[in-house]
Amino acid sequence: MEAQAKHISGWANNVYVKIPVTNTRREPMYRLIRRLSHEGIQLNVTAMMTLEQVREVGKALHGGAASNVSVFAGRVADTGRDPVPVMQEALEILRGHPNTELIWASPRELLNIFQADEIGCHIITVTNDILAKLKLVGKDLGEFSLDTVKMFHNDAGKAGYTLDVAAAVRGAKSSKS
């Protein structure tokens, strides 16, 4: 991982090398992160989900090259936890590390963009499908409801399924007899 990071960092001055917070054997990469950062390699420490990881990575990056800390807020939310308090605390932890920016990684919905902005998160990664929903911001909910009903109607028509209501009623009556 170290040799690859050094190689990749030479590609351009604006490259941030991704280093996972642990390796596949669950061993933290804090020493490697510290070594690379203090050699001047800009890092994006990734796959982070706990505040303890943020604390340790912040310490490792302190005084080193400009770097990013990617907390996978969307995956935190996938576990039933609200990611906002986690991300707020991560920001607070990183306040003492001026060369380090927090990334709200792995968002799941458009609301996450607004949540990240509201807490002052430095960066959010956003997929095209979420960006496409920006056109819905401020949409009248009554119109949105009608659009949804029309979509259901169109989907039913495209499915080609028909229901013989008269036969269903006859069948219901005969089963009561």
Query: What are the respective helix, strand and coil percentages of the chain, to the nearest 5?
Result: 55, 15, 35
Taking the C-alpha atoms of residue 137 and residue 133, their distance in angstroms, rounded to an integer, is 7
pLDDT string in tens for the chain (177-residue length): 999 999 999 999 999 999 999 999 999 999 999 999 999 999 999 999 999 999 999 999 999 999 999 999 999 999 999 999 999 999 999 999 999 999 999 999 999 999 999 999 999 999 999 999 999 999 999 999 999 999 999 998 899 877 777 776 777 777 776
| Catalytic, out of 6, 18, 59, 133 | 18
Contacts of 121 (CB under 8 A, 6+ apart): 87, 91, 102, 103, 104
Question: CATH topology for 2-137?
Answer: TIM Barrel (3.20.20)
Indicate yes or no: pTM above 0.75: yes
> In the chain, which segments carry CATH 3.20.20.70?
2-137
Residue 18: active-site member: yes
